[in-house]
Amino acid sequence: MSKLQTRFTEQVGIEVPLICGAMYPCSNPELIAAASEAGGIGIIQPISMMFVHDHKLREGIRYIKTLTDKPIGFNALVEASSEIYMNRMKNWVDIALEEGVRFFISALGAPDWVVEKVHAYGGIVYHDVTERKYAERALEAGVDGLISVNNRAGGHAGKKSPQELYDELGDLGVPLICAGGIGSEDKFIEALDMGFDGVQMGTRFIATTECQAHDDYKQAILEADARDIVLTEKISGVPVAVIKTPYVEKVGTKAGFIAKKLLKHPKGKHLMRTYYSLKSLFQLKNASLQGMNYKDYFQAGRSVAGIDRIEPAGDIIRRFAAAAREEAA
């Protein structure tokens, strides 16, 4: 069997086990479509679609479908800090299902309602996890696969290495995707050889011609080394991987004293997260679209080390797939 045929590609009906991960604020329809069209799968980040790229959700999905007829996915962030937000997310999942999306990646909370809705349409749900206890909880909810987010990932990074996570989750009996630290074809092959059913990449896809992030952001990714990636608590209260820009150096990476106290308090925690989320939605959007002049938080993972050019997303997927085929031959 080819390295590229896995339980994941079979479940989702794609050719290359490679996910272009959801990214707030970097997921734009053209990038998502390009990843799917090349045989991988692009994931819609609904808040990015609407708030950053100015598409109504249903129209945005229809627009993607004019660019590709291949499967696309949808990111359901299920953190329950606000009921209004949760009800919106439920409505967005319904819209995605009505528009034919059948692959969902849930993250940040309990995925039960996502599984219930998506399975009713015969769809597939994978859940983001960073350790076994969350994986077991997600499996109880009925998810079909797990995205194991490691300590090299962009966005909310995990704490463990890819191998540690594989050892911890490999016996759970569902497909496992490796998320974090993959920016080159040899890392892609390494993850498949480790036993993963696929990979999810974020940072690599920011440095593409289709991604609408500001050129300063793309350049910062090309120039950065793994050592330039730091974890900051300032964006959402939990560590997020960013490039150490002069702004990050100036403001530091730790949550302030009052924020820390609130984050420890059960109710304060939700309040603080909501505050961070609202503030960060604007800050990340502006950094991504306006570039270096802004108070820049350029989110990126340690995979920056393997990224040396801006290229079309489809070329990346085709090159990675060709390398894996060659290896197997």
Ligand X SMILES: Cc1cc2nc3c(=O)[nH]c(=O)nc-3n(C[C@H](O)[C@H](O)[C@H](O)COP(=O)(O)O)c2cc1C
Q: Which residues bind ligand X (CB under 6 A)?
A: 21-24, 26, 45, 75, 107, 128, 149, 152-155, 179-182, 200-204, 299-301, 303
> Which of 60/202 has CB closer to ligand X?
202
> Which of 6/288 has CB closer to ligand X?
288
> Which of 262/321 has CB closer to ligand X?
321
State the residue number with the nearest CB to ligand X. Answer: 202
Find, among 177, 81, 55, the residue nearest to 126 by Cα.
177
Q: Provide the minimum distance between the beta carbon of 155 and ligand X in the complex, in angstroms, as a whole number.
A: 3
- β-pairing, 198-201 vs 103-107, is unpaired
> Which of 204/214 has CB closer to ligand X?
204
* Paired residues of 20 in beta bridges: 42, 201
Q: Provide the minimum distance between the beta carbon of 188 and ligand X in the complex, in angstroms, as a whole number.
A: 11
Cα separation of the two ends of the chain: 11
Classify burial at 202, counting beta carbons within 10 Å of its beta carbon; exposed 0-12, middle 13-18, buried 19 or more.
Answer: buried
Whole-angstrom distance, CA of residue 317 vs CA of residue 9: 14
Q: Provide the minimum distance between the beta carbon of 287 and ligand X in the complex, in angstroms, as a whole number.
A: 10
> Which of 70/302 has CB closer to ligand X?
302
Q: Provide the minimum distance between the beta carbon of 41 and ligand X in the complex, in angstroms, as a whole number.
A: 12
Whole-angstrom distance, CA of residue 149 vs CA of residue 112: 20
Q: Provide the minimum distance between the beta carbon of 124 and ligand X in the complex, in angstroms, as a whole number.
A: 16
Q: Which two tokens stand for residue 53?
A: 């790229």
DSSP string, 185-247: HHHHHHHHHHT-SEEEESHHHHSBSS--S-HHHHHHHHH--GGGEEEESTTTSS-EEEE--HH
> Which of 123/158 has CB closer to ligand X?
158
- Contact call for residues 40 and 20 (beta carbons, < 8 A): yes
Q: Provide the minimum distance between the beta carbon of 250 and ligand X in the complex, in angstroms, as a whole number.
A: 21
- DSSP label of 299: B
Whole-angstrom distance, CA of residue 297 vs CA of residue 247: 8
Q: Provide the minimum distance between the beta carbon of 258 and ligand X in the complex, in angstroms, as a whole number.
A: 26
> Which of 51/275 has CB closer to ligand X?
51
